[in-house]
């Protein structure tokens, strides 16, 4: 018995031994974060951004009705004016439909005249001799006139529809432009909505420039400043064209981390810029609107508040990869982000997403492709 009790105590002691060991400290998780480096606005005046030309307006024209093509007077490269005829479907079937609808409408109008005359006649007879006609006859004539008027409205709609279909058999240029493609041959049967002619407007030219994400926050100021860009196209390296921002893209390329910014410019008189031409764009150094670039703009998702009166961002130390909270003074809210008046300097890194899950001194790993060098 004593031997059994001793064995039990020994077994319990062996079980308790692991609990006496010191707990192994767990390594703190390195949190991945989106981040961006605060850019120096002066970089906009020192860099050229690649891009490609495109037409301001481009459209593939088609008929809204079907039929055999009888006229195609334009060729690729032709310059056309707004309202000029580009193609025509044989209109005879649609002309017949229109005449038929008009004939039915005229007959209905004649019937209405007779119905109204009959109604007025029975009304006069009833007034002169109430017993000469029944009220049923009066009501019947009134109903006939009303029904005929309703039929006229329906037939008028049919005439309008037939006239529209006849008009759709003519394809006209919606704006001044150049024919860049024809998709059918003359005398070919074409279907409704089948592409016939491609037309582009070259009175103005657009260029899609690729702006790095670290600089895109300044684009709003440049957009308001007007023609603050100069553009050079590769076929004409010695020629610069004034341009302004038309549109700022809101989504960056997943591979290049650049944003598409659409520039627009007038077509020069001495050269012709064609869609697809490659080139580069840079901002004008001396334009007075550039002075507005003194403010820093950061993503709205980068700021957070711990109380009602103070706003903060997380600053990422490039060497230690640790975050530190810093108070900032914010300003206007723009399409591209929020302005910061105080608290951040160009060249510093800030977290731009998940800011509510970070804590002081926490080590992070930057996810943005543009920060690959810092994240190593």
Q: Which residue, chain included where needed, has tokens 């016939």?
A: 196
Q: How confident is the model at residue 295 (pLDDT cuts 50, 70, 90)?
A: low
Q: Which residue, chain included where needed, has tokens 């190593």?
A: 376
pLDDT at 12 over 90: no
pLDDT at 116 over 70: yes
Lowest mean per-residue pLDDT among 11-15, 43-47, 111-115, 244-248: 11-15
CATH architecture of 43-56+201-291: Beta Barrel (2.40)
In the prediction, which pLDDT does 263 show? 93
In the prediction, which pLDDT does 309 show? 79
Q: What is the distance between the alpha carbons of residues 304 and 325, in angstroms, rounded to a whole number?
A: 10
In the prediction, which pLDDT does 286 show? 43
331's tokens: 């300003």
Q: What is the CATH number of domain 31-41+296-375?
A: 2.40.420.20
Could you give the C-alpha distances from 148 to 134, 141, 143, 179, 332, in angstroms and in order?
22, 11, 9, 50, 65
The overall average pLDDT reported for the chain is 83
Fold of 57-87+169-198: OB fold (Dihydrolipoamide Acetyltransferase, E2P) (2.40.50)
pTM metric for this prediction: 0.57
Q: CB-based contacts of 116: which residues, under 8 Å, 6+ apart?
A: 145
Beta bridge partners of 245: 263
pLDDT at 13 over 60: no
Could you give the C-alpha distances from 12 to 3, 9, 46, in angstroms and in order?
15, 5, 76
Q: Choose between 53 and 138: higher pLDDT.
A: 53
pLDDT at 7 over 60: no
Contact 86, 74 (CB under 8 A): yes
In a 10 Å sphere around its CB, with 0-12 CB exposed, 13-18 middle and 19+ buried, how is residue 306 labelled?
A: exposed
In the prediction, which pLDDT does 9 show? 56
Per-residue pLDDT tens digits for 46-97: 678 889 999 989 999 999 999 999 999 999 999 999 999 999 999 999 999 9
Contact 171, 88 (CB under 8 A): yes
Query: Strand (E) positions, 249-362?
Result: 258-266, 278-283, 296-298, 311-316, 323-334, 337-342, 349-351
In the prediction, which pLDDT does 250 show? 80
CA atoms within 13 A on the CB side of 239: 13
Q: CB-based contacts of 73: which residues, under 8 Å, 6+ apart?
A: 85, 86, 87
Beta bridge partners of 328: 311
* H/E stretch holding 155: helix 135-167
Per-residue pLDDT tens digits for 315-366: 998 888 888 989 888 887 776 678 888 888 877 888 888 888 888 888 888 8
Q: How confident is the model at residue 292 (pLDDT cuts 50, 70, 90)?
A: very low
DSSP 3-state of 361:
coil
In the prediction, which pLDDT does 306 show? 78
């Amino acid at each position: 018995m004593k031997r059994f009790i001793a064995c039990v105590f020994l077994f319990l002691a062996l079980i308790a031994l692991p609990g006496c060991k010191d707990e192994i400290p767990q390594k703190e998780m390195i949190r991945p974060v989106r981040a961006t480096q605060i850019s120096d606005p002066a970089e906009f005046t020192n860099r050229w951004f690649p891009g490609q030309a495109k037409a301001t307006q481009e459209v593939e024209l088609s008929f809204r009705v079907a039929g055999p093509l009888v006229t195609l007077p334009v060729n690729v490269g032709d310059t056309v004016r707004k309202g000029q005829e580009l193609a025509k479907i044989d209109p005879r079937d649609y002309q017949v439909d229109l005449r038929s609808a008009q004939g039915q409408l005229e007959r209905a109008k004649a019937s209405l005249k007779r119905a109204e005359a009959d109604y007025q006649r029975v009304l006069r007879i009833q007034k002169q001799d109430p017993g000469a006609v029944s009220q049923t006859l009066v009501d019947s004539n009134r109903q006939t006139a009303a029904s005929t008027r309703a039929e006229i409205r329906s037939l008028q709609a049919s005439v309008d529809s037939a006239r529209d279909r006849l008009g759709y058999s003519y394809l006209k240029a919606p704006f001044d432009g150049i024919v860049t493609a024809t998709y059918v041959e003359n005398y070919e049967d074409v279907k409704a909505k089948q592409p016939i002619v491609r037309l582009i407007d070259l009175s103005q030219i657009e260029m899609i420039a690729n702006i790095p994400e670290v600089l895109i926050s300044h684009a709003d100021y440049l957009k308001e400043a007007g023609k603050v860009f100069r553009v050079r196209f590769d076929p004409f390296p010695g020629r610069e064209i004034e341009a302004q921002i038309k549109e700022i893209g809101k989504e960056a390329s997943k591979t290049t981390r650049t944003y598409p910014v659409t520039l627009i410019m007038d077509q020069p008189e001495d050269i012709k810029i064609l869609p697809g031409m490659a080139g580069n764009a840079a901002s004008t150094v001396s334009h007075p609107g550039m002075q507005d670039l003194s403010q820093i703009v950061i993503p709205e998702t980068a700021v957070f508040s711990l109380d009602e009166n103070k706003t903060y961002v997380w600053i990422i130390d490039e060497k230690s990869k640790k975050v530190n909270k810093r108070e900032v003074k914010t300003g206007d809210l723009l399409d591209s982000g929020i302005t910061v008046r105080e608290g951040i300097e160009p060249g510093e890194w800030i977290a731009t997403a998940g800011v509510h899950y970070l804590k002081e001194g926490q080590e992070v790993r930057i996810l943005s492709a543009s920060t690959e060098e810092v994240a190593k």
